[in-house]
Structure 1
């Protein structure tokens, strides 16, 4: 089975993303997406000598729920900021978030999550992988925002990538 599906989670994710991008579920779309889901992990297998250890149970589902909720809430917050506040009143800040995660996959997932949430974007990871530079659109308390990122996202990623 390992020869056919070297990375089953990646294959499943590729198929789901393909179908979401196609915006419809058709037989041709499923066949083409399935082909990509089987072929791409096989060709990229040499670049993944150590598979990331992930837990796809309740921790992953909880993380996904938190991220989706935060994206929806942040969309409304950013819309309110744009519609009802002047740009000179925004408190845009650069935040340096210390990272306790050790695997590149977990750090990438943290950076991607931050960038997916409207109003924040991950700009850089330090060379040693211990700090993440984040730009936030409106921050009253920098330390509280860093603590929120660590509590809501990084702590959950620790449990997923244990």
Structure 2
């Protein structure tokens, strides 16, 4: 019964806190509006969430977080140097097809976010059966190396965390 009324209690608490913070007021009206939104939004959007998140191995998640942060910095420099390079040395971009072993929808959503936050990479398309991912790379030197990098650096940790 409680799960039916509050399908995502942490999301409800976060929405209440965010509403109060953004409105910079603790008046009764703001509290009532925050509580209403904190209850109504998760309840109305419950069917939009694909599966419950089963999050395990927090140390792997922390290591992945720092790896992505490092890659963002490195790829920012690579993209900067590539855009400033003379015409003869401009990086050649291209598409790679990455075969996927990851099947969890939450893990795939995180992988999509990672691929879009790292400069020079774009998640372009996911196969209908979720078996392959099409990624565009700004600087594609060796497709097989890039595929192995994506699978080793991002997919494997996400499988440990979500599957």
Q: TM-score, normalised by structure 1?
A: 0.77
Number of aligned pairs? 157
1:110 and 1:34 mapped to 2: Cα distance?
Answer: 33
Structure 2 SS opposite 1:123? strand
Deviates more, 1:83-92 or 1:63-72: 83-92
* Pairwise CA RMSD: 3.3
**Cα offset for 1:27?**
3.1
Contact 1:6/1:45 (<8 A) preserved: yes
Per the alignment, residue 41 of structure 1 pairs with: 42
Contact 1:111/1:132 (<8 A) preserved: no
1:85 and 1:33 mapped to 2: Cα distance?
Answer: 54
Contact 1:94/1:133 (<8 A) preserved: yes
2:121 and 2:10 mapped to 1: Cα distance?
Answer: 27
2:13 and 2:146 mapped to 1: Cα distance?
Answer: 33
2:157 and 2:58 mapped to 1: Cα distance?
Answer: 12
Per the alignment, residue 147 of structure 2 pairs with: 146
Structure 1 segment 6-45 matched on structure 2, within 5 A: 6-8=7-9, 10=11, 27-28=24-25, 38-45=39-46
Contact 2:50/2:105 (<8 A) preserved: no
Contact 2:97/2:132 (<8 A) preserved: yes
> Greater Rg, structure 1 or structure 2?
2
Q: After superposition, what is the alpha-carbon deviation per residue over 1:83-128, rounded to whole angstroms, capped at 9, x for unaligned?
A: 1243873221110000101122211211221111000101000111
1:142 and 1:4 mapped to 2: Cα distance?
Answer: 49
Deviates more, 1:62-71 or 1:114-123: 62-71
Per the alignment, residue 83 of structure 2 pairs with: 82
Structure 1 segment 92-107 matched on structure 2, within 5 A: 92-107=93-108
Which stretches in structure 2 are left out of the alignment for 5+ residues?
none
Q: TM-score, normalised by structure 2?
A: 0.77
Which stretches in structure 1 are left out of the alignment for 5+ residues?
none
Q: Extract structure 1 runs of 4+ deviating beyond 6 A.
A: 12-16, 29-35
